[in-house]
Amino acid sequence: MIFNKDTAEKTAELLLQINAIKLNPENPFTWASGWKSPIYCDNRLILSFPIIRNYVRDEFAKNIEKQFGKPDVIAGVATGAIGIGILVAESLGLPFVYVRPEAKKHGRQNQVEGFLQKGQNVVVVEDLISTGNSSLMAVEALRNEGANIKGMAAIFTYGFGVAEENFKSANIDLYTLSNYENLLELAVQKQYITEEQQSTLQEWNAIPSTWGQD
């Protein structure tokens, strides 16, 4: 679910403005899940644009507090949400931890890095949701440390049914600044994508888990 329509439209506009949306149907991207896709949304670029990263920081901070109340700790899913997660924590005056995809093999062998106490209320920040698996693995690691997860806030979601089901079964409320629906609407309106690209995206969006795998 988006936090609100204004933020969803503005965030989509900013992502297009900084060329965070990449289209390459001829040479599809491989996602974290292994899915092939003609589209890639690179939210890491946000950190390189001070005005835009501050907008994302402020929208996250305001809406996280409104939606979930002020947590004890902000957690970022590594690596994509470490940078923006720190900015959000700083803005809210809160501690920050980050969660690796898996425990380190050496050193302290931590999956959750930073200071976290059992029973603390945590909001997890993520840059992007496709299947939701990366985010929910982070949630599991935090819960294993005794955290109480208040919810998850992400910059962008494709809004796939599989992600919705995954979040529902993990009992996690997911809110995002923007989503594929708002992005596509704006990209069409601004003629950012051609009619041919639109039809490729339509074909892909009907079968995202198997598209491009012949």
Ligand X SMILES: O=P(O)(O)OC[C@H]1O[C@H](OP(=O)(O)OP(=O)(O)O)[C@H](O)[C@@H]1O
Ligand Y SMILES: O=C(O)c1cc(=O)[nH]c(=O)[nH]1
Strand 21-23 to 39-41 pairing: antiparallel
Binding track, positions 94-133, relative to ligand X; x by CB under 6 A: --------------------------------xxxxxxxx
Contact 36, 212 (CB under 8 A): yes
77 binds, among ligand Y, ligand X, none (CB under 5 to 8 A by kind): ligand X
Give the containing element (helix H, strand E) for 120.
none
Instruction: Give 76-92 as a DSSP string.
Output: EETTTTHHHHHHHHHHH
Looking at beta carbons only, is 31 or 49 nearer to ligand X? Answer: 31
**Smallest distance from the beta carbon of 100 to ligand X, in angstroms?**
9
> Is residue 159 a known part of a binding site?
no
**Smallest distance from the beta carbon of 20 to ligand Y, in angstroms?**
9
Question: Where on the chain is the footprint of ligand Y (CB under 6 A)?
Answer: 31-33, 40-42, 128, 130
Strand 39-41 to 96-99 pairing: unpaired
Report the residue from 1, 5, 24, 32 that binds ligand X according to the rule CB under 6 A: 32
Question: At 145, phi and psi to the nearest 5?
Answer: -90, 0
Query: What are the residue ranges of helices labelled H in the chain?
Result: 5-17, 50-68, 82-92, 133-144, 161-169, 180-189, 195-206
Looking at beta carbons only, is 65 or 181 nearer to ligand Y? Answer: 181
Q: Does 42 bind ligand X (CB under 6 A)?
A: no
Stretch that binds ligand X, among 53-61, 76-84, 87-95, 184-192 (CB under 6 A): 76-84
41 binds, among ligand Y, ligand X, none (CB under 5 to 8 A by kind): ligand Y
| Cβ atoms < 10 Å from Cβ of 30 | 11
Scanning the structure block, which residue is given the tokens 């923006």? 84
> Is residue 131 a known part of a binding site?
yes
132 binds, among ligand Y, ligand X, none (CB under 5 to 8 A by kind): ligand X
Q: Is 159 helix (H, G, I), strand (E, B) or coil?
A: coil
40 binds, among ligand X, ligand Y, none (CB under 5 to 8 A by kind): ligand Y
Interface with ligand X by CB under 6 A: which residues?
A: 31-33, 77, 79-80, 126-134
